[in-house]
Amino acid sequence: MDAISPLDGRYAERLVPLRACFSERALVGARVEVELRYLRLLHSRGLFPLSPDEHARVDAALGGFSEADYAAVKDIEAVTRHDVKAVEIFLRDKLKLARSQAIHFGLTSEDVTNLAWGLLFRRYLHQLQLPQLDELILRLADLAERWRDVPFPSHTHGQPASPTTAGKELAVFAGRLLRLRQRLAGFRFMGKLAGATGNYSAMVAAFPEHDWVDLAQTLVAELGLDHNPLTTQVEDHDTFARWFDLTRGVNNVIIDLDRDLWAYISRDLYRQHKAPGQVGSSTMPHKVNPINFENSEGNLELSNALLALLSDKLCRSRMQRDLSDSTVQRNVGVAMGHAHLAWMECLRGLAKIELDPVSCARTLEAHPELLSEPIQTILKVEGVPDPYELLRKHTQGRDVTRASLMAMLDGLDISDAARQRIQDLTVAGYVGIAPALADRIIAAVRKEITP
């Protein structure tokens, strides 16, 4: 009721799964996990051996981070005014190790934090983002298959253009999203663990003979990340930025889809199912507004604005480190939350629409001038001088009928076969190989994504 952000207010129930990836509790829990995995690695390397009981306590702590644990960390932070130091003190109190100095040994806060964020971002990418994108692509492929053969009015520059099929146009969006999905599915975040200025200085000072680069590589790989071998205090976040940019790419395709479907609905080419009791207007009872596509578009624009800022900001750090990125990075969940909500709204919109083939056919039949393109192309093959100019003079700015187009052929020196081919043309039938093109994308989607 009193939430400042609609993500935590109006839309909170719809975004509950994102809390496991972007909430403060999730971040603290991920920091704890990084510290515990580092501690186990120090033990396995013989640097800070744990007793069997201590090892069991570490494993138990790795098994879950509770509400009580989170509250304890935040109570400590209220005193220390330092979030990562609070995690270190919490683990000392919880684990009660004989050599508590092993906790956070040789690390800087950014070592823990960059790996924690990488862990959370990877979790969101694979557990929530990709499955949601897969659902959207599959929905588009299903609709493209259903309407692959239905002639559909095209517009270029807002003007009637050579027809297509409804299925092929939806397949275009499925194909664009599939390419981005392939890049997201193979995406890898990077992480570092190299101390205060990226030189392993504290670790080497204490254990000069140990291979600390190998230890860092091992831990980073254990977290499902790629090791960044050369950094300042901060991991450069270049992979974070690439992920933001890929997400913006998906958002831009969906914005394009939202706007096209909005326009087609406004032209009565698609109709929308209405939920029982749904009101479209406070004063006009007949309306069924395309609110899902509108909500999707607006949230995508918000997401893109934040993702562009994050992509630019997080790759920059004054000299070896400054903290201006820290507060900005906490808003990644806001950017992804708006995207997640928008993708959900687009899916809801797609579930409501129904193609109106009669309206599509009526619209096409109202524009016989669209046959001027195939007619002038056939006339070129027949050697008619400048058929483009002939058709332009006959159609541009004129009221054109099918009869007037056919009458134009009188007196032209063309073969009987060409004349018959032109006479057989229909606007609705002039769709080229659109259905076959749609089939190729539909097949690619089915091969790539398992429902």
Question: Annotated active-site positions, please?
Answer: 157, 281
As a residue count, the chain comes to: 451
Strands 159-165 and 353-355: unpaired
Question: By the 8 A CB rule, do 106 and 202 touch?
Answer: yes
Q: Is residue 253 classed as helix, strand or coil in its secondary structure? A: helix
Question: By the 8 A CB rule, do 35 and 88 touch?
Answer: yes
What is the residue type of 325? D
Per-position DSSP letters for 165-225, written without gaps between them: EHHHHHHHHHHHHHHHHHHHHT---EE----TTSS-HHHHHH-TTS-HHHHHHHHHHHTT-
Strands 353-355 and 270-272: antiparallel
Among candidate residues 143, 144, 154, the one with its CA nearest the CA of residue 364: 154
Q: List C-alpha distances in Å: 23 to 16, 18, 81, 129, 305.
A: 10, 8, 19, 16, 21
DSSP 128: I
Question: By the 8 A CB rule, do 143 and 167 touch?
Answer: yes
